[in-house]
Amino acid sequence: MKQVIVGMSTCGLSAGSQKTYDRLAELLAANPGAFELKSSGCIGMCYREPLVEVRENGSRVIYGAVTPELADAIISEHIKGGRALEEHVALRICEGAEIAGAEAPAQRGQVRIVLRNCGLIDPESIEEYEAAGGYRALRKALFEMTPDGIVKEIKDSGLRGRGGAGFPTGLKWSFAASQPAGVKYVVCNADEGDPGAFMDRSVLEGDPHSVIEGMIVCGRAIGASFGYIYCRAEYPMAIKRLTIALDAAREKGYLGTNILGSGFDFDVKIKQGAGAFVCGEETALFQSIEGKRGMPRIRPPFPAEKGLWAKPTNNNNVETYANVPWILVNGAAAYAKYGTEKSRGTKVFALAGKVRNGGLAEVPMGIPIDDLVFKIGGGIKEDRAFKAVQMGGPSGGCIPASLGTTSVDFESIPATGAIMGSGGMVVMDDQTCMVEMARFFLDFTQNESCGKCTFCRIGTLRMLEILTRITQGEGRPEDVPNLLELGAQIKESSLCGLGQTAPNPVLTTIRYFADEYEAHIRDKRCPAGSCLALVDFIIDPEKCTGCTVCAKHCPVNAISGERKKVHVIDTSICAKCGKCITSCAFGAIYKK
Amino acid sequence: MTASRNEDFNYRLWRYDGAPGELIPLLQSAQDHFGYIPRRAISYISEVTGVPESEVYGVITFYSQFRLQPMGKYVIKACDGTACHVQNSRTIIDTLEDELGVEVNGTTGDGLFTLQTVACLGCCSLAPVLMINDDTHGKLTPQSVRKLVREYRRREESARREDASCARA
């Protein structure tokens, strides 16, 4: 029977997939037995949600932007009539054939290891995960491999931590494994806090068992019998699906005491974060699980020796654990085949910002930035100019378009001054002001600094004050040297990753976009036309209907004009508050 | 506060088995229940866990999720993450402030809306986005966001009118 599968992750739901699903359920009720209705996680094409797939005998036709009306047409034409609605097909995947459809170019070049099941299986069904080869790695780890053998396999695969720092995973596991037997913990960092990153959310929502299986394997390797998943409270759907997955795994005997009769015990508990970016730092994360303020502490002792509750602990992020079952089943060599010499395997990226195809992409390490932005991302929205890409969130940096040939791996990206980070990639066009971007990130880190280290607590505030001044047209010639000096000091004198990387967005924008700083400070001009204080507000006479709403909203009476006639802003009075833009129902006011 | 709700709250606390590290889940449960963390919940949690009130307070103020004031019926979380920021989320937030007549972190006089900003909701491909309670709305414009708020208001008003007519009947 034909299966109709609706993508029901957060991205799908916010694009309206619930309405589409409800309509399909009605149609199924009206035509009992005509098809089987199911749901799945995110396949990565967030920009074409809601996605609906028609699957039959290994052939998959995926429709994009499916409204309830289009759902009607799919059922009457494709399900009943057997004719696919070609103009709405986003992707067509047939066994033994090249992928086709409008989105095929963006899919070529992707390799799905972490996302192997995302969008393919129902994340709330353990049977579907098993049918896709799930929990085979666990059996192998329990019955065919020694703990040392598992660690060696992970070492040989070349897998490095996907949370950002890129520490070799096998090596990390060997540290915890070598601690004397006793209480040890496996922790999964699912506190994906980088604004602009949503890889882990999609994995947790689309394939929660892969993460759980990776954690059990890790427990077996290091001799731990308990694990925690620390997940942000902002991801309610991920928490719900993880809870369902944990219950199902317990019922099937993959979790609990004497797993599958092997004598090995392991269980996992979910801890919800409470909203603190610094808790992505592992020692702060442990504090938070222990119920305290999430403040980092000095290392050493390292977590492998003294981590959670002062016991040996192994902490990896969601994507790292999701790689583990695949490596055990397919072998280290198969994994190491992908990527570069020092950065093996694949990496999931979250493309967002001014890029056309916003969504997830999993690619072999070493792909050039340009390929991600143009081949997979489909280029810049409205065909504007590609200016820069921001990698690594607030700890990362802005890489200019001129360095677009840079290979994405753990060696090349840090050489630009940015960091790999967890995989968030925010694309910027010529309308994005880089000084304002730097100010935005500093505002974030300044807010999220836990306050323990003076340089991070006060230094970031001073940097923020300077940047705010510059964007308001009150920059001084000494500002840039001061920012550079403060940045260097904060990096030197902070305890944890947050402070050590907080100045990165400022330092990279000064390095690559010095001319924009210059324009703001010397010429009192914002080349991107973004900083309110440095632009003029203008009413487009073509769009203005003379409704007078903007004039009523203007607090300084800078807008004049008669009813039903084009209005004008007196730029000499205008206080540039932006009230007119937000009040105009016709989008007639723009900045220049 | 009705007696039954209070009992339920005590019940959740009563289930506290003395496991270490339960402070944050207890606070989350209190906030789920009351919509914020009232003073007496702090005293109560301190008493059952043995964690001093000052420390409980320290934990509450450290995490952005916890509130010490009651919130509106609808909590609007306007995203100002990187992806939303480059798609002009600031204009969306300005529009919300104007439409609601409150600033960020404020609650409207009728107790209907609380406006907050958040760093990222993880639906970056739909930027700019916001959440109203658990519902996500994406690809916003100043016009659509005003429409959205007005829709919620209208729904509330008609519900109120229905209640009133039911009461009369």
pLDDT at A11 over 90: no
Q: What is the pLDDT of residues A499-558, one digit of tens each?
A: 999 999 999 999 999 999 999 999 999 999 889 889 889 999 999 999 999 999 898 899
What is the average pLDDT value for chain B, to the nearest integer?
Answer: 85
Question: Could you say which of B51, B120, B136 has the minimum Cβ distance to residue A13?
Answer: B136
Alpha helices in A290-358 (DSSP H): 318-330, 332-336
Check CB contact under 8 Å for A582 and B95. yes
Give this complex's ipTM. Answer: 0.85
Query: What's the mean pLDDT in A103-108?
Result: 90
* Rounded Cα distance, A467 and A464, in Å: 5
**B21 interfaces chain A, CB cutoff of 8 Å:** yes
Strand order in the sheet with A226-231: A267-272, A226-231, A185-190, A313-317
Q: Regarding beta strands A559-560 and A568-569, do their DSSP bridges make them parallel or antiparallel, or are they unpaired?
A: antiparallel
pLDDT at A398 over 60: yes
The whole-angstrom distance between B20's CA and the closest CA on chain A is: 7
**B64 interfaces chain A, CB cutoff of 8 Å:** yes
Q: Provide the pLDDT for residue B20.
A: 73
Q: Provide the pLDDT for residue A436.
A: 94
Check the CA dihedral B70-B74-B75-B76 and report its sign.
negative
Q: What is the 3-state secondary structure (H, E, C) of A44-86?
A: CCHHHCCCEEEEECCEEEEECCCCHHHHHHHHHHHHHCCCCCH
pLDDT at A386 over 60: yes
Q: What is the pLDDT of residues A324-382, one digit of tens each?
A: 999 999 999 999 999 999 999 999 999 999 999 999 999 999 999 999 999 999 999 99
Check the CA dihedral A235-A242-A3-A93 and report its sign.
positive
Q: Provide the pLDDT for residue B18.
A: 66
Interface of B with A in 88-147 (CB under 8 A): 91, 94-95, 98, 118-127, 129, 134-138, 141-143
pTM summary value? 0.91
Query: What's the mean pLDDT in A315-319?
Result: 97
Q: Give whichever of A180-184, A525-529, B88-92 has the largest mean pLDDT.
A: A180-184
Q: Report chain A residues whose CB lies below 8 A from the CB of B136.
A: 10, 13-14
Check CB contact under 8 Å for B122 and A309. no
* Rounded Cα distance, A370 and A389, in Å: 10
Q: Decide: helix, strand or coil at residue A166.
A: coil
Residue of A nearest to B119 (CA): A195
The whole-angstrom distance between A436's CA and the closest CA on chain B is: 10
List of residues 6+ apart from A432 with CB closer than 8 A: A354, A387, A388, A528, A530, B86
* Rounded Cα distance, A48 and A67, in Å: 11
What is the average pLDDT value for chain A, to the nearest integer?
Answer: 94
Check CB contact under 8 Å for A582 and B91. yes
Check CB contact under 8 Å for A358 and B62. no
Q: Provide the pLDDT for residue B5.
A: 46
Check CB contact under 8 Å for B83 and A352. yes
Nearest in space to A3 (alpha carbons), one of A31, A29, A38, A43: A38
Confidence at B11, pLDDT banded by 50, 70, 90: very low
Q: Provide the pLDDT for residue B169.
A: 61
Structural domains in chain B? Answer: 3-62 (no CATH), 74-168 (3.40.30.10)
Nearest in space to A355 (alpha carbons), one of A332, A385, A328: A385
Q: Decide: helix, strand or coil at residue A96.
A: coil
Q: What is the pLDDT of residues A407-447, one digit of tens each?
A: 999 999 999 999 998 899 999 999 999 999 999 999 999 99
| Radius of gyration of the CA atoms of chain B, in A | 19
- The DSSP element (H or E) to which A390 belongs, if any, is strand A386-391
**B31 interfaces chain A, CB cutoff of 8 Å:** no
Q: Provide the pLDDT for residue B3.
A: 38
Number of H helices, E strands in chain A: 25, 18
Q: Chain-centre distance of CA A404, in angstroms?
A: 20
DSSP label at A16?
T
Nearest in space to A449 (alpha carbons), one of A230, A277, A234, A191: A277
Q: Got the DSSP string for A352-364?
A: EESBSS-EEEEEE
Q: Which of A88-97, A495-504, A562-571, B3-12 has the lowest mean pLDDT?
A: B3-12
By the 10 Å C-beta count (0-12 exposed, 13-18 middle, 19+ buried), B110 is classed as exposed
**B68 interfaces chain A, CB cutoff of 8 Å:** no
Cis before A300? omega within 30: yes
The whole-angstrom distance between A358's CA and the closest CA on chain B is: 5
* Rounded Cα distance, A381 and A446, in Å: 31
**B86 interfaces chain A, CB cutoff of 8 Å:** yes
Q: Regarding beta strands A589-591 and A537-539, do their DSSP bridges make them parallel or antiparallel, or are they unpaired?
A: antiparallel
Question: Could you say which of A196, A553, A578 has the minimum Cβ distance to residue B124?
Answer: A196
Q: Decide: helix, strand or coil at residue A26.
A: helix
* Rounded Cα distance, A167 and A152, in Å: 15
Q: What is the pLDDT of residues A543-552, one digit of tens each?
A: 999 999 999 9
Q: What percent of chain B has pLDDT over 70?
A: 88
Q: Provide the pLDDT for residue A293.
A: 95
Residue B65 is which amino acid?
Q
List of residues 6+ apart from A303 with CB closer than 8 A: A176, A282, A283, A286, A312, A313, A314, A315
Confidence at B4, pLDDT banded by 50, 70, 90: very low
**B6 interfaces chain A, CB cutoff of 8 Å:** no
Q: Report chain B residues whose CB lies below 8 A from the CB of A195.
A: 80-85, 119-120
Q: Report chain B residues whose CB lies below 8 A from the CB of A424.
A: 82, 124
pLDDT at B81 over 80: yes
* Higher pLDDT, residue A40 or B4: A40
Give the CA distances from residue A51 to residues A7, A12, A128, A351, in Å, rounded to whole numbers and listed in that order: 6, 7, 20, 18
Structural domains in chain A? Answer: 3-103 (3.40.30.10), 126-335 (3.40.50.11540), 346-429 (3.10.20.600), 434-522 (1.20.1440.230), 536-591 (3.30.70.20)
Do A10 and B122 touch, CB atoms closer than 8 A?
yes
Torsion of CA A453, A455, A457, A463, to 10 degrees: -160
Q: What is the pLDDT of residues B15-56, one digit of tens each?
A: 566 677 889 989 998 888 888 999 999 998 998 889 999 999
Q: What percent of chain B has pLDDT over 90?
A: 49
**B81 interfaces chain A, CB cutoff of 8 Å:** yes
Check CB contact under 8 Å for B28 and A274. yes
Residue A394 is which amino acid?
P
Q: Report chain A residues whose CB lies below 8 A from the CB of B83.
A: 195-196, 352-353, 358, 426
DSSP label at A373?
I
Q: Report chain A residues whose CB lies below 8 A from the CB of B119.
A: 193, 195, 277, 444, 448
* Rounded Cα distance, A153 and A150, in Å: 5
Q: What is the pLDDT of residues A229-274, one digit of tens each?
A: 999 888 888 999 999 999 999 999 999 999 999 999 999 999 999 9
Q: Give the A:B interface size as CB pairs under 8 Å.
A: 156
Check CB contact under 8 Å for A272 and B24. yes
Residue of B nearest to A433 (CA): B86
